[in-house]
Chains A and B, each alone.
Chain A
Amino acid sequence: MAERGSNQAPETGAFFQRDRQWHPPAFTPGYKSSVLRSPQKALLSFDNTISELTGPVFGHAMLGELDNDLIHNFAKAGESAIGERIIVHGRVLDERGKGVPGVLLEFWQANAGGRYRHKKDGYLAPLDANFGGCGRTIAGEDGFYAFRTVRPGPYPWPNGPNDWRPAHIHFSVFGQGFAQRLITQMYFEGDPLIWRCPIVGGISNTAAVEALIAALDMHATIPMDALAYKFDIVLRGRRSTLFENRPEGN
């Protein structure tokens, strides 16, 4: 079932601690639903054990031909989703700057009008009969990934009386250990809604917010077809095991 992403021996060092000042804290009252869903007691801290250092690996065999093409993976034959055609690409890296190969990325989003294909979404903007909104891919040897989609629209949500989410794509990323598991959201360069959003605003550091804003990448566009955005994702780095648990010396 498992398939290794490279020929190198797997790394087994513990992951760097998470910087929880950099991530949004659990309790961010501007984002109202966090109020009753945030733990209030301190987290239990410990160095990774094998339960956190290991994680599932998914083989390319699971992928369908259109899994990374949201313009077509839900569309009727010969048709395509409506909206701004874009390519999203980037690399999965770790905090040491090394590419993380072989990891599964999954993405989901609203359609060009800001409507999700989900029964709990009652927004009046219509569904697009040719757009589902989900996709996935597996990062290559150097951590590189890409998919094509339409740019999602902003949408209103019941938080404040007039709150609108910026255009965004949700990302789910596996690392090589389960402790690297991450879900985040990608935003688009220049969107003025980013700095008004209470979900984004849960992140207190401006540079951390900027790390979630994809840049327009004209070099990756396909003329007369699609624009492109570049979005790199950074997972926790890990220590070397060279000097660990060897009191007798290496």
Chain B
Amino acid sequence: MAQSLDRLKESPSQTAGPYVHIGLTPNFCGIGGVYASDLGSAMVNGETRGERIELRIRVLDGTGTPLKDALIEIWQADAEGLYNSPAELRGAADPNFLGWGRQPTDMETGVCLFQTIKPGRVPFRDGRLMAPHITLWIVARGINLGLHTRLYFSDEEKANDEDPILARIEHRLRVPTLIAERQGDTYVFDVHLQGEKETVFFDS
């Protein structure tokens, strides 16, 4: 016998369930007076640097029906490409931009809206620049382990073409599943959980 590696196992995930709002967006589901506001509901203020954009996201099941009980979190760099995180060692991020947001999908329409800024480019492991992107984390009833994916931007064609992560997608037909369509100042993005148009999800 060799020595024990003496490591723990990660706590197994479980679904967030249909009432995830109680814990993560209590004001949204009518539980007022406990928290002043829902965490992550406002990402920008008057001082935040960068181009204001709106993300209009839906999550669709295997029949194409929008999920009305999903919750999405996003994580992104600031306009200069710096993350507001202690693990960001390249410089200080915009103090008026946490870089993280959280929104439920609307209980009637399934639409999820974020008001944020367009992120700058950040480097891949080898120093090459990745295209501007926003990391998405999606939880809901019926999803056993939160799904990670990325949102890229349709008006960043050149950067997208040289993005090392997009380049890793073997089936090139699937690349557009990660690219949000620009309509004015809004980017429209449908996440397909399953089926022909299934979004590329990450194991990273």
Contacts and interface: CB of A to CB of B under 8 A. Distances in A.
Nearest to B126: A245
Contacts, number: 280
A46 B86 CA distance: 22
Contact of A211 (B9, B73, B86, B139): B9
**Interface size, A (range):** 35 or more
Contacts of A212: 11-12, 14
A208 B9 contact: yes
Interface string B1-38: 00000111111111111111111101001110111100
A22 to B, nearest CB: 6
Interface string B34-68: 11100100000000000000000000011100010
| Residue of B11, B34, B83, B168 with most partner-chain A CB within 10 A | B11
A169 B31 CA distance: 17
Contacts of A48: 204
Contact of B88 (A33, A38, A54): A54
B8 to A, nearest CB: 5
A24 B14 contact: yes
10 contacts: A19-B10, A35-B142, A37-B141, A49-B122, A132-B31, A133-B31, A134-B34, A172-B24, A183-B13, A234-B11
Interface of A: 1-2, 4-5, 10-12, 17-20, 22-26, 28, 31, 33-41, 43-58, 62, 64, 66-67, 73-74, 93-97, 106-109, 116-121, 132-136, 170, 172, 176-179, 181-185, 199-200, 202-203, 207-209, 211-212, 233-237, 245
